[in-house]
Amino acid sequence: MNDRLLSMLGLCRRAGKIVMGTDPVIEAVENKRVFLVVMASDFSNNSRKNILKASHENSVKFYDINRTKDEISMAVGKYTAVAAITDRGFSDKIQELILKEQEQEE
């Protein structure tokens, strides 16, 4: 896998520092256990609204990443369209990769 962002998400999964799925992510955000939320580009609008609302209310950063549910699922080994990172170091590195990618697109 040459995609550094997806590789980092897979590493988070192996380290046990990720929460996946809409309801578990919302619960983790509300309990202030996460530092960053990432969503697939093809994530459903209704679920997206719920995640965004919880993230805004709890001051958690979130990003729509330019990856599909299938791509994220392959990286983490479980079918999911949303993931929350529960470790500061991993979240900082993932955010750095996302921002670098966004700069390159501009």
Task: Tokens for 12, please give them.
Answer: 């988070």
Per-residue pLDDT of the chain (106 residues; tens, 9 = 90+): 469 999 999 999 999 999 999 999 999 999 999 999 999 999 999 999 999 999 999 999 999 999 999 999 999 999 999 999 999 999 999 999 999 998 988 7
Dihedral angle at the C-alpha atoms of 97, 3, 63, 66, nearest 10 degrees?
130
The CATH label, of 3.30.450.40, 3.30.470.20, 2.40.50.140, 3.30.1330.30, for the domain at 4-105 is 3.30.1330.30
Strands 36-39 vs 82-85: parallel, antiparallel or unpaired: antiparallel
For residue 1, the model assigns a pLDDT of 43
| pTM, rounded to two decimals | 0.92
Closest of 19, 20, 47 to residue 33, by C-alpha: 19
